[in-house]
Structure 1
Amino acid sequence: MASVNRFIQFNNETLDTKMLHQMELLAGALADAPYLKVTTRKLMEVRPSESAISISVFWKHRPKHIERNGYKSDIYLLGAGFWRYFNLRDWRRFVRMDSKLPSLREQLLLCAEEFRLSEKVAKERPGTAGAFSIRDQVYTVYHKGQFQQNRQKGFSADAFLNAAYLRLRGEEVGMNDLLEPLFHTWSLLFDARSTKDSIRVVDQLMMRLEYQLETDMVHTYYTFGDSAEKVPPFHYHEGIEAERAENEEEIETIEEWFQSWHRETEISETAAMEFELERGDSQLAEGGREEQGDGEVQQTAKGNSAGDHIEGNEEEDRQMDKAPKTASGKFGSANDQVVYSESRIGIKSDAQPLIDLWRKKQAPFVRALLKELKKRITQRQESVRQNLNAGRLSKNLMPLIIEERPKPFYRKTAPSKELDAVFCLLIDGSASMIDKLDETKQAVLLFHDVLRSLNVPHEIVLFYEDAFEASDASQPNYFEWIHKLEDGNRDHAQAIASMEAHEDNRDGFAIRWMSNRMKKRAEKHRFLLVFSDGEPSAYNYAENGIVDTANAVSEAKKQRIEVLHLFLSSEPITDEQAAFYRMMYGNKSVSADSLEQFAEQTLRLLKRTLHLVIQSA
């Protein structure tokens, strides 16, 4: 797991995940595309193959109101402008044409379309005008500086693009006598109403520019993103007789382009199911399904009507849960290539003497907490109360006659209730946990013992990614069960003592995986605790891992699951680290400043959450 304190300070930057999530919601609303993702890149881009648009990091390190409005202007341009009003068919024809200055030609058109579409969006949506105004002010200063630098360095093509941008904003900049007349043609963009009109103006310019300029642009100020020729692949599978139409209707807008990629993603995820529905079980004999019934019984299972998990089922868990499952489309786009397995953690050796020592040390704290909680539970039991203004009507109605202000109602004693809550604990199993493992085991044991004593259902899972086997095509992840809901009050101290550190951690994926289990529970209070010692770190999961984790936490909250985070550290936490974890987990992140505080902070988390449950009972 990578540390927040990186070696090079200027690389020690983190994303504002809350802001990025807001931009994603804004983009989805403008484009009417809930599946649309927002990422950050050097320049604005459209990326249909990833169902994403990218906003520019150009706006970083500026005053907050400028940064926010700059990002919003990117979203307005991409989600409300280019999304519907940029003609993809004309763009394809445009880029297919040969040119001596291809980079200048393409960037001039994108510059022209940015101007046309920003004017169009601001007219249709007056509320966007403020963000576009700030955008123009900042970029005007930027292009003025770039214009001077490019002229001094002799980058004529770059200087012309800077001047072209400034002329559209009413800024006069001097070019040489040969290029100055071209801006009269460029001014025709004020009347452009479509992509085709912009292309017409740019092509008129290029006839002169290719003659006047010898070299193409050095810098990139505008880029499109995915190649417009990059159409989604067409999938075939047995059982469907599908042929692609020879004269398929050409995609004309970026909106249609994204939708075609999105539909293709959904189709590829369900192809195996469609095959099974249409063709049946591929292992069937020719005689039909009945012949399968003659075979021997392949496996048996044991159960318990009381609901407790019995010893015989643990071995069964180890055999059945190891079958790998694919995560594509179910746990966020950053985890589409994940393949995960679930199994019971293997018991390494008898650690009972060590467990007894840990429990002896923790016993006073556990007893004190249980005594306090049971006292609070008792206080919540209401006694019979008479003479109330509301409640059940008493059989004694005499007060209605003889009293001026009668109170003929009463309330029954509230029945005793079990705590209406469920807890799930995710434990980071990355390699960096190795020096904190003993303290973590003690904290987890404390968590386990308190909830068992209160008869509160809970789960404990160790999660990690295999860094050595991870690749672009597959990222193996593992969940090792220490205690399951079905186990009831069984003591799994030996399993807790068997935890080991592995390689990487994919936090957002693990949170979504556990949230999917928890959302099916009927308890009123659902708590998901995450024990980790740093930021998410896995294959292709650096910057996007931070965003993915923050989004996973936000999604869990929408499902009424409270996510709590305990940062395990062997030294005091810095302000930067605290801000980093608040960015992912909000105000539900706490830290243990030393190894000795792990159990203490775990106790504090449990105390706070259980008090909340009792208070609302």
Structure 2
Amino acid sequence: MTSVNRFIQFNNETIDTKLLHQMELLAGALADAPYLKVTTRKLIELRPSESAMSISVFWRHRTKRLERNGYLSDIYLLAAGFWRHFNLNTWREFKKSDSALPSLREQLLLCAEEFRLSEQIKADRPGTLAAFDTRETVYTEFHEDQSKQNLKKGFKTDLLINAAYLRLRGVEVGVGSLSQALSTIWTELFDAKTTADSVRIVNRMMDRAEFILESDALHTYYTFGEALEKVPPFHYHEGIEAEETEEPEEIETIEEWFQSWHSETEMSEAPAMEFELERGDSQLAEGGREEEGAGEVQQTAKGDSTGEHKEDSDAEDRQMESEPKTAEGKFGSANDQVVYHEARLQTTGDHRINIENWRRQQAPFVRALLKELKKRMTQKQEGVRSNLNAGRLSKKLVPLAIEERPKPFYRKTAPSKELDAVFCLLIDGSASMLDKLDETKQAVLLFHDVLRGLNVPHEIVLFYEDAYEASDAEQPNYFEWMHKFEDRNKDHAQTIASLDAHEDNRDGFAIRWMNSRLKRRTEKHRFLLVFSDGEPSAYNYAENGVVDTANAVAEAKKQGIEVLHLFLSSDSITEDQAAFYRMMYGNKSVSADSLEQFVEQTLRLLKRSLHLVIQSG
């Protein structure tokens, strides 16, 4: 896990996850494509293989209003403009044509199409005017500055791109003998209605530019994204006769391009089922399944029964260890390539001395908290509210005779046998936790002892990713239980003392995994605590890991699960760090300014959560 404090200050980028999530919802609504994802890149791009549109980091480090309007203009252009009104057939033919200046030619067309589509969107959707006004103002200043630099350095081709953008916004920039072409040919874009119109105008511009300019553009101001040649893999249906297959329909719009990728992705998510449905089992052709014997069980499942099944628990856990599961489609698109393993954390060595010392130190805190909570529970059970307009009739009836508006009724709070709550604790098992293991073990033990003392069901799980085995095709993740719901009040101090640090951490995936267990619980109050010491860090899980984690927390809240985060650091917490974790976890993120405070903050989190349960119980 990497720290938020990076050694190069200008590389210490943070993402406004809420804003990015809003942009994603907006893009999905405009394009009528709920599967669309929004990422950030240097320039706006289209990436159908990822089902993603990329908005530009150009808008960062500006005021909140400029940043928001800038991102909105990117989304409007991509999801309401290019999505349905950019012709891919025309673009395909345009790319086939040879040119001495291919980068200039492509960038001029994208510049022309951005202008045409912007004008069309503003006419169709007047509510987008503010965002596009911001876009034009900021980009006009940008191209004016770039034109001065390119003129000074002698980059004539790059200067032409700047001048082309500015000319459409009414700003004149001299580009020598090409100035006349900008005024006569380029301004015909004001009347362009289709991609073909833009191509015609750009080709006429290039006839002049290729004759005058000697070298191609050095800078990239516009890019399309993934090449059209990168088509979705053909899904071969076994058994379909060749003569029955039809030629695939030619894709004409960005929308169709993305849909073809999305449909192929959905079809590939259940290859085993497709194999059975389309082809059948090859064993049957040789005498059926009976020749193969009874066959082996390929997968087992385990329910969440509240009954006593401890005798079978260990056997089931051992069987579960050898059964890796795939995450595709179930835990967020950023985790589709994850393969995860669930197992009991193995006890290593004898930790009795350490456990006795830790419990001796924590005993006063645990006793005090348990005493306070049980006292509050007793008061809640025995509390009587009198002088009510309705309820049970009191034996003291004198007020009926002497008061004008008597209230002779009372109510007694119904007793509750135990707290109607469940807790889960996720512990970051990344390598950066190595120097904090003792403090982490003490805090987890405190968590365990308090909840055991209150008879509250809970789970404690270590999570991590194997960085050495992770690849594009597969990212192995591990969940190791120290305590499970089925264990009830069993003491697992020895297992807790055996936890160790590993490699990476995929926080959003771990939170969703635990949510899937918590949402099956029937308790009224469900809490998920996350102990970590930094930001998410795993294979292909840098920037999108922050967004994925924030989305996982938001999903949990919608399911009625309260997510609490405790950030552990051996140094003082900076304001940037605090803001970063609030961005992912909201106001439910707290920090320990030192390792010594970790146990204290754990106690505070538990106390606050349990008080909430008692008050609303």
TM-score by length of 2: 0.93
- Call closer, same or farther: CA 1:414–1:240 in 2, change over 3 Å: farther
On the 8 A contact 2:178/2:208 being kept in 1, the answer is no
Instruction: Measure, in 1, the Cα distance between the counterparts of 2:13 and 2:296.
Output: 61
Deviation by residue 1:295-314 (Cα, 9 ceiling, x = unmatched): 89999999999724525522
1:273 alignment counterpart: 273
- The answer on 1:527 being equivalent to 2:527 is yes
2:303 and 2:508 map into 1 onto residues whose CA distance is 34
Query: 1:233, CA displacement in angstroms?
Result: 0.7
Task: Give per-residue Cα distances to partners, 1:390-421, cap 9 Å, x unaligned.
Answer: 45799999x99999767686646513242121
- Cα distance, 1:306–1:576 mapped onto 2, change above 3 Å: closer
- Cα distance, 1:283 vs structure 2: 6.5
Shift of 1:369: 0.6
Whether contact under 8 Å (2:532, 2:567) holds in the other structure is yes
| Fraction of identical pairs, as percent | 77
Shift of 1:571: 2.2
Distance 2:104 2:305 in 1: 74
1:193 Cα offset (Å): 1.1
**Partners of 2:236 and 2:243 in 1: CA distance:** 9
Q: Report if aligned partners of 1:285, 1:292 keep a CA contact under 8 Å in 2.
A: no
Q: Tell me the secondary structure at the aligned position of residue 225 of structure 2.
A: coil
Deviation of 1:131 (Å): 0.9
Contact 2:310 2:486 in 1 (8 A): no
- 1:124-162: CA deviation from partner (whole Å, max 9, x where unpaired): 111110110011011111111111222222222211111
- CA contact 2:15–2:546 (8 Å) conserved in 1: yes
**Residue in 2 aligned with 1:108?**
108
Who is 2:363 aligned against?
Answer: 363
* Change beyond 3 A, Cα 1:387–1:549: closer
Q: Name which of structure 1's ranges 231-240 and 564-573 shifts more when overlaid on structure 2.
A: 231-240
Instruction: Give the conservation status (yes or no) of the 8 Å contact 1:89–1:251.
Output: yes
Q: 1: CA distance between counterparts of 2:332 and 2:424?
A: 21
The corresponding residue for 2:257 is 257
Cα contact 1:441–1:497 (8 A) shared by 2: yes
Larger deviation, residues 317-326 vs 117-126? 317-326
Contact 1:530-1:565 at 8 Å conserved across structures? yes
Report the Cα distance in structure 1 between the residues aligned to 2:214 and 2:609, rounded to whole angstroms. 70
Residue range with higher mean Cα deviation, 425-434 or 238-247: 238-247
Which amino acid is the alignment partner of residue 257 of structure 1?
W
Partner of 2:71: 71
Deviation per CA, 1:412-464: give whole Å up to 9, x if none: 65132421211111101111111111111111011011111111111110011
Q: Measure the CA separation in 1 of the matches of 2:109 and 2:115.
A: 10
CA distance in 2, matches of 1:17, 1:296: 46
The 1:101/1:295 distance shift into structure 2, 3 A limit, reads closer
Instruction: Report if the CA contact (8 A) 1:92-1:229 is conserved.
Output: no
Q: Distance in 1 between matches of 2:356 and 2:130?
A: 66
Query: 1:321: which partner in 2?
Result: 321
Matched with 1:167 is 167
Q: Which runs of 5+ in 2 are unaligned?
A: none
2:489 match: 489
1:374 aligned residue: 374
Distance 1:402 1:233 in 2: 88
- TM-score scaled by length of structure 1: 0.93
Q: Which residue of 2 aligns with 1:334?
A: 334
Instruction: Tell me how far 1:181 sits from its aligned partner.
Output: 3.3
1:501 pairs with 2:483: no
Q: Which amino acid aligns with 1:28?
A: G
Aligned CA distance change for structure 1 residues 366 and 258 (closer, same or farther; 3 Å): same
Per mean C-alpha deviation after superposition, the further-off stretch among 135-144 and 247-256 is 247-256
Q: Describe the SS at the equivalent of 1:314.
A: helix
Distance 1:404 1:78, change over 3 A: same
CA contact (8 A) 2:299 2:323 kept: no
Q: Which moved more, 1:315-324 or 1:277-286?
A: 277-286
Distance in 2, matches of 1:224 and 1:156, equals: 23
Change (3 A) 1:231 1:333: same
Q: Kindly indicate whether the alpha-carbon contact (under 8 Å) linking 1:430 and 1:502 is maintained by their aligned counterparts in 2.
A: yes
1:305-454 aligned within 5 A: 307-310=307-310, 312-381=312-381, 388-391=388-391, 411=411, 413-454=413-454
- For the structure 1 residues 65 and 303, does the alpha-carbon distance in structure 2 shift closer, same or farther, using more than 3 Å as the test? closer
- Aligned residue identity for 2:338: V
Structure-2 residue corresponding to 1:6: 6
Question: Paired residue for 1:234?
Answer: 234
The alpha-carbon deviation at position 247 of structure 1 amounts to 2.9
Give me the CA root mean square deviation. Answer: 3.0
Distance 1:295 1:205, change over 3 A: closer
Q: For the Cα contact (< 8 Å) 2:431–2:504, is it kept in 1? A: yes
Task: Name the CA shift for 1:523/1:223 in 2 (closer, same or farther; >3 Å).
Answer: same
Structure 1 alignment gaps of length 5 or more: none
One-letter code aligned to 2:343: S
CA 1:364–1:297: 2 relative to 1, 3 Å: same
Who is 1:135 aligned against? Answer: 135
Partner Cα separation in structure 1 for residue 395 and residue 498 of structure 2 = 63
Evaluate the alpha carbon distance shift between residue 174 and residue 39 of structure 1 in structure 2; reply closer, same or farther with a 3 A threshold: same
Q: Does 1:81 align with 2:81?
A: yes
Q: CA deviation at 1:242?
A: 8.4
Shift of 1:106: 0.9
Give the conservation status (yes or no) of the 8 Å contact 1:427–1:531.
yes
Deviations 1:11-60 (A, max 9, x none): 12222222212211221222122211111111000100001111111111
- Quote the Cα distance in structure 2 between the aligned partners of 1:222 and 1:178: 21
Tell me how many residue pairs correspond in the alignment. Answer: 617
Q: Is the 8 A contact 1:174 1:180 kept in 2?
A: no
Asked whether the 8 Å contact 2:383–2:413 carries over to 1, the reply is yes
Q: Match of 2:268, SS?
A: helix
